[in-house]
Structure 1
Amino acid sequence: MKTTKESVFEFIQKQLMTNSDFKDGISTKVIAEYFQLQRSNVSTLLNELVKDERLEKTNTRPVLYYLPQKEAGNELNTVGRVMIGTDGSLANALQVAKAAILYPNNSLNVLVTAKPGSGTTHFVYTLYLYGKEAGVFSESAPIYKINCRHYKNNIEELDEKLFSPKNIEDSLFAKSRGGLLFIDNAELLNSTEKSRLSEFLESGLLFSEDRSDFIDANSTFLVLSCGPNGYNEFSQRMSMVIQLPDLASRPLSEKLELINYFFMIEANNAKKNIEVKREILEALLLTDFPLNLKGLEMEIKRACATACVRVMDDPSSNIEVTLSDLNNEVQKSLIRARTQSTDLYEQLGAQMLFIYDCHEESQFIRYHDTPDLYAEIRSQYNELSKRGINTDTIHNIINNHVTTLFKKYNYYRSFNDEYDTEQLSKIVDPKIIRMVSKIMDDCKNELQREIQPQVFYGLCLHMNSLLTLQLNQSRVDDNQM
């Protein structure tokens, strides 16, 4: 169990990094009020932390306490502690990140490899915050992200934004000098763009299209991300490589922290407390999400949005998420609860109901890049109410509206145009997957067009059903495949 001293220190770290009100330090009064302690006792603890060289204090009145500058340079103290898995599945990744950012003279460019939805954007944003904490980046240092997948059908626009070949001062490399440039899904760059990228990695220079001009962008901290398939291509050009774990390889304790975090975010966004029964947490813990953290986050977001509709006409009611708010695959995962009851009890104890307080701030830093879903729902609900439409009809309309919003904001984009054969192989015979893949390749070549992954998955499942139909309780022999 944490001592009061450790709890106070962690509270100070969190506030100094996430609350702009304490940019110059935090006072004894604030800490005493938060922990409901006597100010004299808090003062004693703070002076002990100063003596331990974990804090420094000002000579002003009131006295303000702050983290020493050397703290940032030696440990991933603040930013590291607000990432789930810092001392677990992300420990090695953060250690490599620290070495890359703090490398003398110039930070070393980084390659991040991960399966889709494994939290790459959040991780990269955390590197940016750490760079500022460590004094590598200034407080006003820029950060730019470009996702190559969003320009898959418009390579010219991607080229213009990223390299601006005719006016290199307008390129993202130029705009990111002194800060961070994040190129997501870099494996989708074309051969010319990859060539220009390689030249930059070797020299730190970016040339115009006709090579009559160039800029020095050595101060741009470049982070590339790619899927596992792009690892070999980029790892040979970059010395610092970080491999992020997928959700399935993270321990159950971290999964629960992530679930709690996402529910807390939804409570904050909806401005309502969220009540969740134990069976829902069990189902989420036991589900294999092909889209990893993103899949888990979106499942919780969708379930909370659906549940929110039921209490739109009662501002004082909590949002009660029920099992029926989860999709069928997540519900089915409860079948495994009986065989993993010990592990689940270790994480959840005997508690049957979990309440996420909308007034309690999450302890983790979040990179905000999605619209306000609940504001859209409230706006639609208010509009329908003004028209005098009855509550049941409004609920039906809003439920359809939630689905429309998810499509409108492309919450699932970036994850639907690649075949995930690893996940598929858990339910479909690998021989069938290989056979359908060959058929898909032949069709694409013959028709000269791309075929959506949904068709691939549908064919695999359909063929699997046909060939494993238990007539006479027997499968099709292998030599008949």
Structure 2
Amino acid sequence: MKTNKEKVFDFIVEYSKRFKTINDETPKLDTQFLSEKLEMRRSNLSSILNQLVDERKIEKTKGRPVLYYLSTDQEVQIENQVFDSLIGQDLSLKDTIQFTKSAIAYPMRIPRILFTGQKGIGVRTLAEKIYEYVCLQRILKKDSNFKIVDCLDYNEKQISEKLIGKENIFLENNHGLILIKNVNVVSKDLISNVIRMLKNNSDFDFILIIHLNEDLDKLDYLRDYFNFMVHIPSLDNRNLSERFQFIEKFFQNESNNLNRSIEINDGLMQCLLLYPCKDNLIELRNNIQFGVANALSKSKKNTNIVIELGDLPPNVRKGLLYIKKHINDLTNVLEKDTTYVFNHNRTLRKKIKSENLDIYAQLEQKYKALGKMANEKEKDAYLIANIEEQIDDYLKQITHDIDKDKIKKICSTKLINSVEKFLNSASVRFNQVYSNKIYYAICLHLNNAIVRNSSKQRISNENIMEIIDKYDEQYVFSRKFLKSIEKEFNVTLSMDESAFITLVLTLQENEKLKKRNVVTLIVMHGSKTAQSIVEVVKLLMPVKNIEAFDLSLEDDPKESYEQLKNKIIEINQGRGILALYDMGSIQVMLDSIMEETKINIRSIEVPIPLLAMSACKQAEEGKNVDDIYDHLVSEYSDKSYSRMSNKDVIIALSSANENNSESIKRYLQTLEDYRDYQILSFNISDKHSLINRINEIKLKGKVIGIVGTYNPDIFNIKFVDYQHLPKVYTIHELFAESDDDFDIIEYLTEQFEIFNYDDLQNSLLPFVKKLEEIFEEPFTEDTRLGMLIHMGCLIDRLTKKQASAVNFNLDSIRTKYHDEFTMVSEASKKLESTFNVTFSDSDKATIIEIIINNKRRN
């Protein structure tokens, strides 16, 4: 409830807003007038007014009678609040509003503003706020005309009459504000006549706003006449939070009109947030009205109007197909398992009561909630997009108030031991630590499944295949476990169970993936240039936050700009874009996109084409290789890109607590050959972080070894204790003296129970040696070790009767490397015989592919 002081101040503000005009100063009010309007004693009122004066919210005149009026600061604040009610005023519309204010404030006879943007973006609403603003600013009188003409409502002849004919709106609405929408449907000749008339009539004095529906031809034509061009973003280019506010607003309006509450479920809300709206806000509003009208005809009097998916137009349900792509953004806007109730100007959120159902029954409920109108493909898309979140909720549900003692009372000892053994194996297999919640949940879920003993499948084959594609190793591992459960307990379990256990194993992994990252964008001129770079990066490092954009030299620059902007909007995860580009106007485009979208974009130029062109030009002039090299180094060494060092890398390492890496680095720099190496220093205790850093470094150069205070025990990288430093004169000597040389055969025997040292020595090493002969080239150390490890893993999988990975390039490899394929098949026979396995044609093709790819990189 408002205090008396708040009531007094609010009245002064509202009264001042209504009566401020171009000919009048801000209204000044005495205590008698305020006392009558507010029904307060003058003595009490005087005390409150003096408090507001002390707070500098209002001011008062000297002399008698004392008059009170808004302070200058408060007037400015009120003027700025005009646009506060617009959705997106501080985000997507921030620049639009600022540019519009600047245009209006610019001193000229007829302020002319050209709004560009698609149909239905809210031009009328923005113009209404502009009118309110200019009246408050005293640029227009409060009773000035405000005329809106939508060219879509008339034919060419009718529009001509309104603009330059007998109904001339400019004459009728002089000294006001005029908005002409959707000018793109008007001919160039008519536009030309209107501009000529405006230029030639010196009596005109109004604010003119024209909206053009992104017609590039007419935009170029109008550009010269209009002083200010302001872009209004489409609904697709506004974030989901803003779209949610529009949906709220439209439903609340319908609730007010009907004097009834309106209810929708979370699945329908997801559709409304994601389906493509060609006509933007107009389409969104009309579709909501359509749905409300259909639901109203079926609802009983004095009950909530409950809208189902089938009540809305068919195009709305297309939103189901986009849920998976935007699931992380949806979780930031919506609450899980919530029904939304719109009651006049409020939105109520009702949590759906969770019944004591198993996971499949819960999923089936969600499936049915979509209604009969959604087809199977759309329902499956909705289900697979929400399934991981649903499972997480289900686990919390069934493990609530559960501990180890309670599990023993519910589940058999045999089942508990089986699950414990399975999770221990999974921890080793996937290098993952699992929580007790996962352990209890699998026990409870499988206990229910064994009791149910049903092979009925609830999750579609398409959804199961999608899970297998995404988590193939975990699925195979889970399937094998469930087969043992079926055999041990003499039950039949559905395919759903394998999918369920797979998703449970990957819950923690998915939480990591949900974290938003900076996205690296490669932008290059040419066909598939950027895409090829991204493919190489993904081959060397399994990353997901890198994207490509190939800029065709033949495309129209405006089209290329829009395509690049849409690409950046699509891939942005909220933490910015790092763009690596080759040359030309790309930097200008990136700067403009950052300004337009407010996405933080940092860019680095890597001008390979310029280097190549410059080298060719120098060569044609007859210069020798040394001169060309010196020229390029001199010309491009100070550019914004970084030239990668070709020196071998040494890492000086200590723990974060010790903080000694810089001291180790300085000591290394006293050794005679330190200039031959690039020395980096890290204070890192976390092994995972160190491995990530080393993986990044290896993309630029070869890591020779680590000198440090502790051994991080990283495969295939030599470690030397820093205490060895006083014993040597060179870095080469330091690592040559190390007795930590890696024994790959010993490593394989430690990792896999099936191997012994002699078998590998007598079969695997000769096989790799034979591969070198087949390809007539000795392998690098990295290729040799990589091949040995690959073969070890492959043999281990085959001995455990696990399926080989499919090589989709099998046919092309077998055709292109026919002779090599035959020789690899022959060379592998001894290895197959030793371990009693059979290599598939896909396995042999993969061996050849690894060798060929490594040869290309080296």
Say if 2:14 is the partner of 1:16: yes
- What's the offset of the Cα at 1:335? 3.6
1:100–1:107 Cα contact (<8 Å) kept: no
- What's the offset of the Cα at 1:84? 0.5
CA distance in 1, matches of 2:128, 2:99: 15
Which SS does the other structure have where 1:77 is aligned?
helix
2:112–2:208 Cα contact (<8 Å) kept: yes
State the AA in 2 paired with 1:143: F
- What's the offset of the Cα at 1:143? 1.0
State the AA in 1 paired with 2:181: D
Match of 2:180 in 1: 183
Question: What is the aligned counterpart of 2:199 among 202, 205, 210?
Answer: 202
Residue-by-residue CA offset, 1:105-134 (whole Å, 9 max, x unaligned): 646111111111111121112211211122
Q: Provide the identity percentage.
A: 26
**TM norm structure 1:** 0.58
**Structure 1 residues 91 and 331, CA, compared in 2 at 3 Å: closer, same or farther?**
same
Match of 1:93 in 2: 96
- What's the offset of the Cα at 1:222? 0.9
Match of 2:171 in 1: 174
Residue-by-residue CA offset, 1:1-23 (whole Å, 9 max, x unaligned): xxx99xx79x959x939997999
Say if 2:256 is the partner of 1:255: no
Which SS does the other structure have where 2:139 is aligned?
coil
**Structure 1 residues 163 and 54, CA, compared in 2 at 3 Å: closer, same or farther?**
farther
2:256–2:344 Cα contact (<8 Å) kept: yes
Structure 2 gaps, min length 5: 21-25, 39-43, 348-561, 567-858
Trace 1:66-465 onto structure 2 (pairs within 5 A): 68=71, 77-104=80-107, 106=109, 108-152=111-155, 155-164=156-165, 171-205=168-202, 216-217=203-204, 219-229=205-215, 230-311=218-299, 314=301, 316-350=302-336, 352-358=338-344
Which SS does the other structure have where 2:179 is aligned?
strand
- What's the offset of the Cα at 1:73? 5.4
CA distance in 2, matches of 1:147, 1:202: 22
- What's the offset of the Cα at 1:56? 6.3
Residue-by-residue CA offset, 1:37-75 (whole Å, 9 max, x unaligned): xxx9xx98x98876554566899xxx9998656656577
RMSD: 4.2
- What's the offset of the Cα at 1:334? 2.1
State the AA in 1 paired with 2:135: K
CA distance in 2, matches of 1:132, 1:93: 19
- What's the offset of the Cα at 1:90? 0.4
* Mean Cα deviation higher: 63-72 or 234-243: 63-72
Which SS does the other structure have where 1:228 is aligned?
coil
1:73–1:134 Cα contact (<8 Å) kept: no
**Structure 1 residues 174 and 201, CA, compared in 2 at 3 Å: closer, same or farther?**
closer
| Aligned residues between the structures | 325
**Structure 1 residues 66 and 118, CA, compared in 2 at 3 Å: closer, same or farther?**
farther
Structure 1 gaps, min length 5: 32-39, 206-215, 362-421, 427-481
- What's the offset of the Cα at 1:164? 2.6
Match of 2:525 in 1: none
CA distance in 2, matches of 1:242, 1:124: 12
- What's the offset of the Cα at 1:291? 1.0
Residue-by-residue CA offset, 1:377-415 (whole Å, 9 max, x unaligned): xxxxxxxxxxxxxxxxxxxxxxxxxxxxxxxxxxxxxxx
**Structure 1 residues 55 and 106, CA, compared in 2 at 3 Å: closer, same or farther?**
farther
1:76–1:98 Cα contact (<8 Å) kept: no
Which SS does the other structure have where 1:182 is aligned?
strand
**Structure 1 residues 184 and 339, CA, compared in 2 at 3 Å: closer, same or farther?**
closer
Which SS does the other structure have where 1:111 is aligned?
strand
**TM norm structure 2:** 0.34
CA distance in 2, matches of 1:280, 1:57: 55
- What's the offset of the Cα at 1:260? 0.8
Residue-by-residue CA offset, 1:140-174 (whole Å, 9 max, x unaligned): 1101111222222xx33322222235xxxx52101
State the AA in 2 paired with 1:131: V
- What's the offset of the Cα at 1:102? 2.5
CA distance in 2, matches of 1:158, 1:49: 53
- What's the offset of the Cα at 1:278? 1.6
- What's the offset of the Cα at 1:331? 1.7
2:59–2:70 Cα contact (<8 Å) kept: yes
Residue-by-residue CA offset, 1:424-461 (whole Å, 9 max, x unaligned): xx9xxxxxxxxxxxxxxxxxxxxxxxxxxxxxxxxxxx
* Mean Cα deviation higher: 90-99 or 180-189: 180-189
